[in-house]
């Protein structure tokens, strides 16, 4: 495991941590669901548990995706890019990825000079998080 | 254009710049090709020219993808994530995305505890870049 992690370049300094980028893709449809950050510990935990675990730069702690909402992401495939600072995870998404209730966090698309939200909410964020995230 | 750019949160500080994450996906196959960074100027240029333009944190300047290799990326769709610090671009990839000659920069996949390269090189980096990138 250590040798595997040594190949990752945690070069992004945010919130006092050294981070790599995690891109998350639906393993069935290939839709990109979200982008977040991992420190070394978050990546080790993700690989050990097969549940996506990030480092939250706002809460400054490890964050198991789905621990509040139930919307876990189960890892199906892991890829590393050529310069080692970004990882690509293909996952089985339970529920929806976005804390705003949409399946993907990339629900805004550029149309005629404006960001336009596409798609329907799959859940009501207030009911799921009740002010938390 | 300015209002559009104001919705992007260039919160990643690297190489003295304020950057957002750009995830690039093949618009036909949905394969994720690469991840790079954009400052406000790079994003403005990308939207104006429809050719992917990044901020290179190693060379510390704007970088039109394909200017050396000919492997341009033509923008087909642009998306913004919920917290505004990551953009998703669906592109038509000319040639290959990776400077190592592979179609995608994510050519290493995790198999039985090792990063294993998948796929074939589409070009010889030495011939295309001759020491440059």
Q: Let me know: does A63 contact A52? Beta carbons within 8 Å.
A: no
pLDDT less than 50: residues of chain A: none
Beta bridge partners of A43: none
Residue B118: what are its φ and ψ, rounded to 5°?
Answer: -115, 150
| H or E stretch covering A19 | strand A17-26
Measured between CA atoms, how close is B76 to chain A, in angstroms? 10
Percent helix, percent strand, percent coil in chain A, to nearest 5: 15, 40, 45
| H or E stretch covering B41 | helix B40-49
Q: Let me know: does B85 contact B11? Beta carbons within 8 Å.
A: yes
Among A106, A121, A133, the strongest candidate for a mutation testing the B interface, having the largest count of B CBs within 10 A, is A106
**Which of B106, B111, B119, B113 has the alpha carbon at shortest distance from B35?**
B106
| CB neighbour burial string for B112-127, b if at least 16 within 10 angstroms, e if fewer | eeebeeeeeeebebee
Q: Let me know: does A119 contact A107? Beta carbons within 8 Å.
A: yes
Domains identified in chain B and CATH numbers? 2-95 (3.10.20.810)
ipTM: 0.94
Residue owning tokens 């290959």: B96
3-state secondary structure B50-100: CECEEEECCCCEEEECCCCCCCCEEEEEEEECCCCCEEEEEEEECCCCCCC
Three-state DSSP at A89 gives: strand
pTM as predicted: 0.95
Residues of A in contact with B82 (CB under 8 A): 98-100, 102, 105, 107-108
The confidence score (pLDDT) of residue A130 equals: 78
List per-residue pLDDT tens for chain B, 133 residues long: 889 999 999 999 998 999 999 999 999 999 999 999 999 999 999 999 999 999 999 999 999 999 988 999 999 999 999 999 999 999 999 999 999 999 999 999 999 999 999 989 999 998 888 755 5
**Which of A133, A129, A127, A126 has the alpha carbon at shortest distance from A56?**
A133
Cα(B95)–Cα(B118) distance, integer angstroms: 17
The confidence score (pLDDT) of residue A131 equals: 58
What is the sign, positive or negative, of the torsion defined by CA atoms of B79, A129, A87, B119? negative
* Among candidates B13, B80, B105 on the partner chain, residue whose Cβ is nearest the Cβ of A108: B80
Q: pLDDT digits over A27-46, tens only? A: 999 999 999 999 999 999 99
The confidence score (pLDDT) of residue B132 equals: 57
């Amino acid at each position: 495991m250590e040798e595997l992690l040594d190949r990752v370049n945690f070069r992004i300094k945010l919130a006092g941590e050294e981070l790599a980028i995690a891109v998350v893709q639906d393993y069935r449809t290939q839709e990109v669901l979200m982008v977040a950050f991992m420190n070394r510990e978050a990546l080790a935990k993700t690989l050990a548990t097969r549940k996506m675990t990030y480092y939250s730069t706002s809460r400054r702690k490890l964050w198991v995706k789905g621990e509040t909402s139930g919307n876990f992401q189960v890892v199906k495939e892991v890829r590393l890019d050529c310069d080692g600072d970004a990882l690509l995870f293909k996952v089985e998404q339970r529920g929806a990825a976005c804390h705003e209730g949409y399946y993907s966090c990339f629900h805004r698309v550029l149309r005629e000079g404006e960001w336009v939200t596409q798609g329907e909410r799959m859940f009501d964020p207030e009911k799921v998080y009740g002010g938390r995230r």
